[in-house]
Amino acid sequence: MSQSIAVLVGNTKYDDLSELECCANDVVQMRELLSETQKFTQIVEFVDKPVSFVKDELRKLTENEDSCEEMFLYFSGHGLSNADDFYMCFESFKEVSPNSTGLSRTDAFELIRQFDADMSVVVIDACEAGRNLIKSDAPPLARALKSGFSNFVQFSSCTESQFSLAGDEISLFTDEFIKACLQKEKGPVYYSDVENALRDAFLQHDGQTPHFIRQGTSQEKFCNDAARLNDLRTVFLRPPDTDETLAESAPPATALALAKTAIEKIETKVPSKDEAQAFIDGVFASILDDSSMTPEIADFFEVRTVKYDDFEYVQNKRSVISLLDRRGGSDVFVESDVERKRRRQPFGGIGSVAMLAAMSVPDEYDETYNLFNHCRLESVHVGLYFEPKFMALNRVFSEIVFLPRLTECLILTCNTKERRSGWGSFNEFEGTKKWKWSHHSWSDDTGEIANGYVSDPYDFTKKYILSFGDNKAG
């Protein structure tokens, strides 16, 4: 006996993120839509459930011995895309521990594979959901999907550098997804029909562009008979009340009025320059205040601070520029530039270019990465030098990079050891720095950011000190 299973997940409550009340209704509306298709033998809902509970319940569902025709996973809530993966955020989500407090798309795929379904469908209504799998540092799409998937369709509400708009009653993308499923009135409704309807629906939404992944034949059906959706279509697509009295008291919003509302909403998230500077200074001051928690470090190191108003001394600018590119946005508070200079060819003299061309030797370039602080905020790159009081100790350098944006601030942190090169000198860190990063609203609490998201320089230094005792014991 075969079955089709739908799992609907919605999260409205968050410890550290804004609440999304509409996500509960998103699940209700999606359940009604899927029920009307008369295709799913099980529709399971999880609203404001812990991520561990959801994972366990998914595992239980895979234990059913019946074959699975379709596995449909829907998620509505906050989302985060970082350098490693995309994460569906649950109530206790922490950016410092995304794999245990959220559901990564990698883990979700692994769980879906266990159903061994003829078709797998994933619909994600969350910010940054449209992570591109075809990347140099990620497995090719074909390899990522073909391992365990017969046919696969994914609908994401936006690209990985965009926000997904919520609503008072229902999220924008979920609303448009349901409408797209209801457009066709006769015959089967194919997932490719839904995709095309969504593309058209978002043509005028410059800030939100749905992202699609599909592996199959374009014959995958959402509903075998569109007539089954007639009752829902009548209710969901019903035109607004045209009563003259109502129309006079509440005239329809014009395009300019809608645009003004959207602009005003963004405006509430934009700080003044002084407020933005106070945020940056506050995060660094909170980190310095933490030194009182570890007074024993003073026996081994003296702390010296440095502040820069530009990004000249930031190492591994390439990864920083990559982060900026992924985040996207309408501003250039911090702008990047990559200079490419062709290397001097190994064969000098006239005709060397022609010789290399004849030998099919490609040109090689040296790349220089630049970051420009156009917004003129101060102390955007700050650091703590832990100067050792003993020759046996190396120097510890902890640094923070602030990347101001119009409505948010990206914070990158890194702790490194600089080896002693003489009786009074040290070599800079010789490796490629790997930045830990997080993004924050300008109104976030600076103390909480320092404690929860910044790599603790004092803890790093204390562990370095204690390692000498471990080495001695070993």
Asked, for residue 248, whether it belongs to a domain, the answer is no
Same domain, 224 and 298: no
181 φ/ψ angles, rounded to the nearest 5 degrees = -70, -20
Same domain, 218 and 277: no
Q: How does pLDDT run across 13-35, given as a tens digit for each residue? A: 998 888 899 999 999 999 999 99
State the residue range of the domain holding 332: 273-343+355-473
Asked, for residue 200, whether it belongs to a domain, the answer is yes
- Per DSSP, the three-state class of 221 is strand
Asked, for residue 431, whether it belongs to a domain, the answer is yes
Asked, for residue 161, whether it belongs to a domain, the answer is yes
Same domain, 390 and 443: yes
Same domain, 237 and 175: yes
Asked, for residue 268, whether it belongs to a domain, the answer is no
Q: What is the pTM of this model?
A: 0.55
Asked, for residue 155, whether it belongs to a domain, the answer is yes
> Do the Cβ atoms of 453 and 411 come closer than 8 Å?
yes
- Of 242, 263, 289, the last residue of a domain is 242
Same domain, 162 and 309: no
Signed CA dihedral, 179, 183, 189, 191: sign only: negative
Rounded to whole angstroms, how far apart are CA atoms 62 and 58? Answer: 7
Asked, for residue 187, whether it belongs to a domain, the answer is yes
End-to-end CA gap in the chain: 61
User: How many structural domains does the chain have?
Assistant: 2
Q: In 3-state terms, the chain is what percent helix, strand and coil (to 5)?
A: 35, 25, 40
- Per DSSP, the three-state class of 442 is coil
- Per DSSP, the three-state class of 418 is strand
Same domain, 195 and 310: no
Q: How does pLDDT run across 293-344, given as a tens digit for each residue? A: 677 888 999 999 999 999 999 988 888 887 787 666 788 999 988 888 877 6
Read off the amino acid at residue 27: V
Residue 34 is predicted with a pLDDT of 95
Residue 252 is predicted with a pLDDT of 57
Q: How does pLDDT run across 115-144, given as a tens digit for each residue? A: 999 999 999 999 988 876 544 444 444 444
Same domain, 171 and 287: no
Instruction: Identify which of 154, 133, 173, 145 has the alpha carbon closest to the alpha carbon of residue 73.
Output: 154
Same domain, 119 and 189: yes
Instruction: Identify which of 101, 142, 102 has the alpha carbon closest to the alpha carbon of residue 124.
Output: 102
Same domain, 301 and 425: yes
Residue 451 sits at the vertex; the CA angle it makes with 446 and 457, to the nearest 5 degrees, is 110
Query: From residue 211, how far is each of 3, 78, 79, 107, 322 by CA, in Å?
Result: 28, 16, 14, 20, 20
Identify the CATH number of the domain in which residue 24 sits: 3.40.50.1460
